[in-house]
Structure 1
Amino acid sequence: MELNHVITDNGGDPNQFQKQPVETVTSPQPHTKERSKPNLLYAINDNPPWYLSIFLALQHYLTMIGAIVSIPFILTPALCMSDEDPNRGVIISTMIFVTGIVTYIQATWGVRLPIVQGGTISFLVPTLAILALPQWKCPPENEFNAMDEGERNELWQIRMRELSGAIAVSAMVQVILGYTGLVGKILRFVTPLTIVPTVSLVGLTLFEHAAETASKHWGIAVGTTAMLTLFSQVMANVTVPFPVYRKGHGIEIRKFLLFRLFPVLLTIGIMWGLCGILTLTNVFEEGHPSRTDVRLKVLTNAKWFYVPYPGQFGLPSVTLSGVLGMLAGVLACTVESISYYPTVSQMAGAQSPPLHAINRGIGTEGLGTVLAGLWGAGNGTNTFGENVGAIGVTKVGSRRVIQWAALIMLLQGVIGKLGAIFIMIPDSVVGGIFCVMFGMIVAFGLSTLQYVDLRSARNLYILGLSMFFPMVLCRWMQQHPGAIKTGNDTLDSTLSVLLGTTILVGGLLGCFLDNIIPGTAEERGLIEWANEMPLGDDNINDGTATDFDFPAGMETLRNWKWTYYVPFLPTYKLQKQS
C-alpha cells in the first residue's frame, strides 16, 4: 500500500498545517492504477472553521458574481428594458437567489461536489435567438418613450414569460435524462476526445467576453492578472504572521498561508481599492469605465429588501419554437457538466464519481433550471467553470465552503443593496480575473489529453477538427443569423441556435468522430479514462465511493432493497458488488 501526503488542518486550526499520511484511493475497476490525492489545503470532506469558510466562500462568490451579473446586463436590453429601469436589479437578485438555492441543493444532496450552479452563457445564445424573432423585437425608440410605466413593464414582462416557459419546459429533458439514469447510458460515448473540445471551447469561446471587459483599461486588467499570478503561484507557500488568542495562553503569533487561501479575494480588494484611489484623484475622468462610481445608479436604485418568488413576472407561457430553441442550451450544459464532474472530483481530492452521482447531478441541474425558469431569472443553471478554476488556484475543494457560498448568494438575493455593491467592481478588474480563470478552463480541458495517444494521427485529426471547425462555423452563424432559410421559422431558429453554439458543435463532432473512426481502446484513451470515469454499466457502485453518499439516511436506504434499482440514489446497483 502506497502512502502519500496531503496538507490537512491541525485540529481545525487554519493557521497551522501539517502533513498526515493518508491511504491512496484506488478504484476497484479493471485496469486500475493507484492515484494519489492532489496537494490540498482542504479536501472535499474537510470542514474549515466557520469564520475561515465565510472568507473562502466570499472568494467563490466574487469569482462568479462578475459572470452572473453580466448575463442580465446582456439580457435586459433584449427584453426591451430601459437602462434606468429599477427592475434590472430585481432580475439580477432573482438570478443570484436561485443560484444560491440550486448550489446548496447540488452540493448537499445532488452530485455532492464543490461546484457552483448559476447562469450560463450557453443559454444566452438561444435566448437572443428567440428574442430576435419578429414578434419579440423591441418597438422603435419614439414608440417606447411614448409608453407609460405600466406599458413598459408589460413590454418586457411578456418577453420574460416567454423565456421562462421555454427554459422550464426544455429543462425537463435534463431532469428526465438524469433522474431516470439515461445520462449514464450515454457515458460510454463520452470519451476524452469528447471532453477536450467541450470543456476547452468554453474558455476559448469566452475570450471575447474577457477581452471586452479587460479592454476597459488594460493597465488595471494586466495588473490584476499579474497580481493573481503572484499571489496564487509565486507566493503560495509564503506565510504571514497572524495573532491568535488562545484561552489560558494569551495572544500567540502563528503562521498563516494568506496568499494561498485568498489570492482572488486579495487581488480584487487591492485592485478595486486602486481604482477607487484613481477615481477620487480624477485620474480616471468622469464616465471612465474603470471608475468605481460608474454603476452608482445601480446601487441607489436597488431595493433594500425583496424576496424573489415563482411567477413574479406572471404565469410563464410556452411555445414550440421557444422550447426547441432553448433545448440547445440544455444539451450543451448537460455535456459540459458531465465533462466537469471527473475534473472537479480529482481537484477536490474526491473519489471518482459513481453512476448514481452523475445521474443525480444532471437531474438536479435540470431541476435547478426549471426553478430558474419559474422564478423568472431569464436564464438556466449550469456548473460554473470560473469556480472550477478557483478550486485549482486556491487548492480548497471543501464542500462546506460551497455551502457557505450558497448562503451568501441567498442573502445577497434578498438584500439588493448588498449585491449592488459587488456589481460596482470595475470591469477591468473582472476582465483580469477572467483572463486567468477562463485560461484555466481551457487548460483543464486540454489536460484530458493525458489519457489519449497524441502520437496517433487519428487522434490529432479528431482533436484539430473538433476544436477548429466549431470556432469557424459558430462565429459565422452568429454573424449571419438569417443564413438558414428552410421556410419554417421555428426550424430556422432552432438550427441557427444549434449551429451557433461552439461547445455543442465541438463536443458532438468530437464524440461522433471518435466513435466512428477505427482506433484501439488504448489509443483512444478509454483504458486510462475508465480509472477516472468508468463508462456506462462498468461504473458499478460497490459501496466504496462514500464521498457521494447522502449526508443523512444512508443506513435506511441500504436496508431498503428497492433503492438499489433507483438510478439517482447512492445505493444504486449496490447488489452487484462482488
Structure 2
Amino acid sequence: MIVKEIVVKKKEDRGGLKVKWFCDRRRIKKEVKERFFNGGNWPMREGQHEAKREEEVTLGFCTGGLPFGALAPIEQRGAKATQCRASRNGFLVILIQIISDKGLTHDHIPKEESLRSTKLSTLLRISEVFEPSSTELPSFTIACSAKTEMPQSACICNTNNRNDNNGNKKAEEFQPHPVKEQLPGVQYCVNSPPPWPEAVVLGFQHYLLTLGITVLIPSMIVPLMGGGDIEKAKVIQTSLFVSGLSTFLQSLFGTRLPSVVVGSYTYVIPTTSIVLSRRYTTILDPDEKFIQTMRGIQGAIIITACFQILIGFLGLWRNVVRFLSPLSVVPVVTFAGIGLYHLGFPTLAKCVEVGLPELIIFIFISQASYLPRYMKAKTHRCDRFSLLFSVSIGWLYALFLTSTGVYNKKPPNTQISCRTDRSGLIRTAPWIYMPYPFQWGSPTFNAGETFAMMAASLVSLFESTGTFFATARYGSATPVPPSVISRGVGWLGIGTLLNGMFGSLTGTTASVENAGLLALTKVGSRRVIQISAGFMIFFSVLGKFGAVFASIPLPIVAALYCVLFGYVASAGFGFLQFCNLNSFRTKFILGFSFFMGISVPQYFREYYHVQSEHGHVHSHSGWFNDIVTVIFMSHTMVAALVALVLDCSLSRENDLTRKDSGLHWWEKFSLYGSDVRNDEFYALPCRLDTFFPSL
C-alpha cells in the first residue's frame, strides 16, 4: 500500500489502548517537528524508539484487535478507532491514520500483519496537535518527501498564520465540518464496555429512567378498568419484568444496539378504546370488569405481536427502510424525540415547585461548563452520573415538602403529582411477586379491537426505527443496515407477544429517553443496557424495593425528559450533514414534512374526546375511527410518511437529487455485507449469522 498521508489527532483519556507513541505535554510544536523528522527520540512508556522519516514505524493496536492507525480516512474512521483512549498520565496520544492514494475504502484495508511495519514511502503530514490540557496549539502541517524525486527544499513547515511569497500573512481559510459516519467523542461505543463498577451504576441510571413510562401507562389505564392499587402494582411489576426480558433479547439477538425496550405510549389510544367499549363498561363488579378487560386487551396485543413478528422476520420492514435516505430519516429521528413533548414540560408543570428545580439541577450537573473549577477534574463523574445525582436531590426535596405538610390542603390532582406517598405502590406491592403468562386468565379476541391495535404497532415501528438510528449514532456505530432494523422489529414483536401473554396493557417500543441518556453520558455500551435489563427483572420480582423507586414523582421524571428527548431530536438533525442544504428540493421536503408533522397531529389531539369519543373521525366503524386517530395523532408517523413520499417521488432517479438526499453516502449501508464495520456492531453472537444471515 502506498501511504499518502498521516494524520495525527489528539485522543481523550480512557482505558483500552495499547499505545506506542507519546509526546511529553511540555513539548511544543517545534520540538514535535524536530524530533519526528530529524531523528529525535520520542519519550515512550515501552522503551525508546527512534522514528526517522525513512524507517519503518510500528502502529499501536486497540484491545479489540483492529489497528487504530489504518482503519479509514478521518471522515470514515472505523469502529475501533473511536475506542482508542489513553490513561490519565499527562501524555498526549499520537493517533495515526494512514490514508492511501486510493482513498482507503474498507476493501483496501490490508491485514493486521502488514500494518505492524508500514514504511512511510510517500507524503508525510501532521496536523491538529493539541496539548492534553485542552489548550489548543496552533495546528501545523509538515509535508516532506521521503523516497521521491522531489528536492529536499520541498519540505515545508506551514502554520495557520502562513505567509505568502511577499512575506504577508494570508487570511485563514475556513473549511466546513467534515461528514462523520460515526459520531466522534463517544467514550465507550457499542462493543466497548466500561469497567464493571461504572457499568453497574450506569445500568442503574437506565433502570430509573424506564420507571417513568412504566408507571405512567398503568396509572392512567388501570383505574378505568376498575382496578385498584393492588392491581396497578401488579401490572407495573409485570410491565417492568417483560421490559427487562425484551431489552435483554433485543441487545443479544435483535439490533444488538444499546436500546432499552419499554411499553409504548402509542398503544394508549386503542387500549383506552377497548376499556371504554360497551361490552366492558356494562360490567358492574370492579374485579370482574378488570379481569375481563385485561383479557380482551391481551388478545388484541397477541394478534398484533404476530403481525409485527411477520413484518420483521420476513424482511418486509427491511424493504421499507431501504427507501429511507438521510433526508427522510431526519424527520423520523427528530420527531421520535419532539413528538413526545407532552410528556415533558406539560407533565413537569403539574408540580412546578418540584419539577422546575429538578430541571435546573439536572442541566447544571450534566453540563460541565456550569461546574466550578475545582470540579472540572471530575467532569466525567458529574455529567456521566448526573441523572442519579439530580434525581436523588429532587426526590429528597419532594420528600421534604411532603413530610412538612405543604400539600396537605392542596387539590387531589396536585397531591398525586407532587407527594411521594400518594402512588400507593409501596403499601400495596407484594414483597416477592413472580409474573407468569396468562395470570389474568385466557385472552379473548375481537377483530375490531385487533385492527386498531395493529395500527398502533405500525406507528410504533416508525418511532422505534427513529430511535434505533439515534441509538446507533450515540453508540458511535455506523448507520443501521435495513436488515438489522427489520431483525430488531421482529424481536420487538416477540417483546409485544410477551406483553400480551403476561398482561401488561401495551406493546413494546425502543425507549427514546434511554437513547437520550446515551448521549448525555457519552457511553453507548451494550453491556450497560444488559445490566439495566437485569435491574428491571430483579426489582420487578422484589416488589417492595422496586416500588420505592417507582414512587418517584412524575414531574421529576418529566424534567429528565425535557433534556433527553432533546438529545434524540438533535440526533435527527445530525443526519443533515449528509444532505445538500443548498438544494431547494431539500428545503421543501424538510420544511413541509416538519410543518405537517407538527400541524396534523395537533389538529387531531386538540379535539380528541371533545366533539365525540373519536374526535374528528365520525365513521360508523369504531375500529376504523381508532385506526385513523392513532396514525394521524403520531408526529413521527405523519412526518415520516410526508418526507418518504416526497423524497421518493420528486426526481429521485436523478443522480443530482440522489446526492441532495444523501443517498450516495448511504448506499454502502443498504446491504449488510457492503461495509466491514457492520459485523463489528451488528453481528449475532455465537456465529448465529451463519444460520440467520443478514442481507
- TM-score, normalised via structure 2 length: 0.70
The one-letter code matched in structure 1 to 2:633 is G
Report the equivalent of 2:245: 101
Moved more, 1-10 or 71-80: 1-10
Aligned equivalents of 1:238, 1:402: Cα separation in 2: 31
Quick one: which of 627, 637, 641 aligns to 1:494?
Answer: 627
Q: CA deviation at 1:5?
A: 5.3
Change (3 A) 1:432 1:524: farther
**Kindly, what percent of the aligned residue pairs are identical?**
27
Structure 2: how far apart are the matches of 1:168 and 1:424? 30
Q: Give the CA RMSD over aligned residues.
A: 3.3
2:250 maps to a residue whose letter is Q
How big is the shift at 1:277? 2.4
Kindly provide the CA deviation profile for residues 303-350 of structure 1, in whole angstroms up to 9, marking residues without a partner as x.
111111111111122221112101122111222222232332221122
In 2, Cα distance between the equivalents of 1:378 and 1:154? Answer: 16
Which amino acid in the other structure matches residue 247 of structure 2? Answer: T
1:572 partnered with 2:689: no
CA shift, 1:462, in A, is 2.5
Distance (Å, rounded) in 2 between the aligned partners of 1:364 and 1:474: 28
The answer to whether the 8 A contact 2:191-2:681 is kept is no
Residue number in structure 1 paired with 2:399:
276
1:348 and 2:482 equivalent?
A: no
**Residue correspondence of structure 1 range 19-98 to structure 2 within 5 A:** 21=95, 28=106, 35=181, 37-81=183-227, 84-98=228-242
Asked whether the equivalents of residues 166 and 326 of structure 1 are also in contact (C-alpha less than 8 Å), the reply is yes
Which amino acid is the alignment partner of residue 63 of structure 1?
L
| Partners of 2:335 and 2:635 within 8 A in 1 | yes
How far is 1:119 from its partner? 0.5
Stretch moving more, 284-293 or 176-185: 284-293
Change (3 A) 1:196 1:24: farther
* Deviation of the 1:268 alpha carbon: 0.6
Residue 520 of structure 2 aligns with which residue? 393
CA contact (8 A) 1:313 1:376 kept: yes
Change (3 A) 1:55 1:285: same
Which whole-Å CA distance do the structure 2 matches of 1:435 and 1:270 have between them?
17
C-alpha separation in 2, matches of 1:135 and 1:2 = 70
Matches within 5 A, 1:387-466: 387-466=514-593
2:340 aligned partner: 206
CA contact (8 A) 2:182 2:477 kept: no
Question: Alpha-carbon deviation of 1:33?
Answer: 7.0
Query: Number of matched residues?
Result: 536
| Change in CA separation of 1:486 and 1:264 when aligned onto 2, cut-off 3 Å | same
**What amino acid is aligned across from residue 50 of structure 1 in structure 2?**
W
1:43 partner SS = coil
In the superposition, relative to structure 1, how do residues 230 and 211 fare at CA in structure 2: closer, same or farther (>3 Å)? closer
Moved more, 446-455 or 33-42: 33-42
The one-letter code of the counterpart of 1:483 is H
| 1:37 to 1:435, Cα distance in 2 relative to 1, 3 A | closer
The whole-number CA distance in structure 1 between the counterparts of 2:484 and 2:616 is: 41
Q: Secondary structure at the match of 2:14?
A: strand
Q: Which residue does 2:124 correspond to in 1? A: none
Deviation at 1:552, TM superposition (A): 4.0
Q: Which amino acid aligns with 1:131?
A: V
With 288-297 and 381-390 compared, the bigger mean Cα shift is at 288-297
* Cα separation, partners in 2 of 1:189 and 1:66, compared to 1, 3 Å: same
Distance in 1 of aligned mates of 2:260 and 2:217:
16
Letter in 2 for 1:518: S
Query: Are 1:234 and 2:368 an aligned pair?
Result: yes
Within 2, Cα distance between the matches of 1:347 and 1:156?
Answer: 41
Tell me the alpha carbon deviations over residues 463-506 of structure 1, each in whole angstroms, 9 at most, x when there is no partner: 33322334333333342415333333333332333333332222
Q: Please say if residues 368 and 383 of structure 2, whose CA atoms lie closer than 8 Å, have aligned partners that are also in contact.
A: no
* Correspondence for 2:321: 187
Q: TM-score, normalised by structure 1?
A: 0.83
Contact 2:474–2:519 (CA<8 Å) still a contact in 1? yes
Are the counterparts in 1 of residues 244 and 533 from structure 2 also a CA contact under 8 Å?
Answer: yes
Q: Any idea what SS the aligned residue of 1:227 has?
A: helix
Find the aligned partners of 2:105 and 2:625 in 1 and give their Cα distance.
Answer: 47
8 Å Cα contact 2:253-2:685 kept in structure 1:
no
Is contact 2:358-2:391 (8 Å) kept?
yes
Corresponding residue number in structure 1 for 2:145: none
Contact 2:402-2:419 within 8 A present in 1 as well: yes
- Structure 1 letter corresponding to 2:395: W
CA spacing shift, 1:34–1:339, aligned 2, 3 Å? closer
C-alpha distance in structure 2 between counterparts of 1:176 and 1:3, whole Å: 49
Counterparts of 1:161 and 1:29, CA distance in 2: 55
Q: Distance in 2 between matches of 1:135 and 1:9?
A: 60
Give the Cα separation in 2 of the matches to 1:35 and 1:5.
Answer: 19
From 640, 643, 647, the counterpart of 1:514: 647
The reply on whether 1:9 has 2:14 as its aligned counterpart is: yes
Do structure 1's residue 134 and structure 2's residue 303 form an aligned pair? Answer: no
CA contact 2:294–2:440 (8 Å) conserved in 1: yes
Paired residue secondary structure (1:518)? coil
Of structures 1 and 2, the one scoring higher in RCO (CA 8 A, sep 6+) is 1
Q: Distance in 2 between matches of 1:172 and 1:238?
A: 54
Check conservation: 1:188, 1:535, Cα contact below 8 A: no
Distance 1:550 1:3 in 2: 31
Mapping for residues 313-332 of structure 1, pairs under 5 Å: 313-332=440-459
Work out the CA distance in 2 between the residues paired with 1:120 and 1:388: 15
User: What displacement does 1:238 show?
Assistant: 7.7
What amino acid maps onto 2:548 in structure 1? I
Q: Give yes or no for contact 1:15–1:256 (8 Å, CA) kept in 2.
A: no
Alpha carbons 2:418, 2:555 under 8 Å: kept: no
1:519-560 Cα shifts (integer Å, max 9, x gaps):
555546566355457564x44356542333556422x755xx
Deviation at 1:351, TM superposition (A): 3.4
More moved, 41-50 vs 229-238: 229-238
Q: Aligned to 1:118, what secondary structure does the other structure show?
A: strand
Q: Structure 1's 296 and 240: CA in aligned 2 closer, same or farther, altered over 3 A?
A: farther
2:436 and 2:105 map into 1 onto residues whose CA distance is 44
- Taking the aligned partners of 2:349 and 2:659, their CA distance within structure 1 comes to 40
Counterpart of 2:394 in structure 1: which amino acid?
M
Amino acid at match of 2:14: D
Distance in 1 between the 2:441 and 2:466 partners? 36
Specify every segment of 5 or more residues in structure 2 that has no aligned partner in the other structure, as ranges.
1-5, 18-84, 109-177, 609-613
Q: Is the 8 A contact 1:192 1:525 kept in 2?
A: no
- C-alpha deviations, 1:425-478, integer Å up to 9, x for none? 123222211211222222222333333333333333333332233433333334
Q: CA deviation at 1:395?
A: 0.5
Distance 1:296 1:516, change over 3 A: closer
Output the CA distance in 1 between the equivalents of 2:622 and 2:235: 29
Which of residues 419, 422, 425 in structure 2 aligns to 1:295?
Answer: 422
Cα gap change, 1:162 to 1:27, in 2 (>3 Å)? farther
Q: Which amino acid aligns with 1:52?
A: E
Aligned residues of 1:96 and 1:409 also touching (Cα < 8 A): yes
Q: 1:11 to 1:302 in 2, by over 3 A?
A: same
CA apart distance, 1:407: 0.2
* Distance verdict in 2 for CA 1:344–1:297, change over 3 Å: closer
Select the structure that is richer in helix: 1
Partners of 2:187 and 2:486 lie apart in 1 by 29
Q: Partners in 1 of 2:466 and 2:298 — Cα distance?
A: 27
Q: Separation in 1 of the partners of 2:241 and 2:655?
A: 45
Q: Distance in 2 between matches of 1:10 and 1:471?
A: 44
Relative distance call for 1:188 and 1:45 in structure 2 (3 A) is closer
Deviations 1:112-165 (Å, cap 9, x if unpaired)? 1111001111111222233343334x35xxx85xx3xxxx22211211111112
